[in-house]
Amino acid sequence: GTNTLHKDEL
């Protein structure tokens, strides 16, 4: 999956 990344990044 691609867009789960930024939910835990600043």
Partner 1 sequence: MNIFRIIGDLSHLLAIIILLRKIWKTRSCAGISGKSQILFALVYTTRYLDLVTTYVSLYNTVMKIIFIAVSIATCYLIYMKFKATYDHNHDTFRIEFLLAPAVILALLINHDFTFLEILWTFSIYLESVAILPQLFMVSKTGEAESITSHYLFALGSYRALYILNWIYRYHNEEIYDLIAIVAGIVQTALYCDFFYLYITKVLRGKKLQLPA
Kindly state the smallest distance separating residue 9's Cβ from partner 1, in Å. Answer: 7
Q: How far is the CB of 5 from partner 1 (least distance, A)?
A: 4
Q: How far is CA 5 from the centre of its chain?
A: 2
Footprint of partner 1 on 1-10 (CB under 8 A): 1-10
User: How many residues bind to partner 1 according to rule CB under 8 A?
Assistant: 10
3-class DSSP state of 7: helix
Site for partner 1, rule CB under 8 A: 1-10
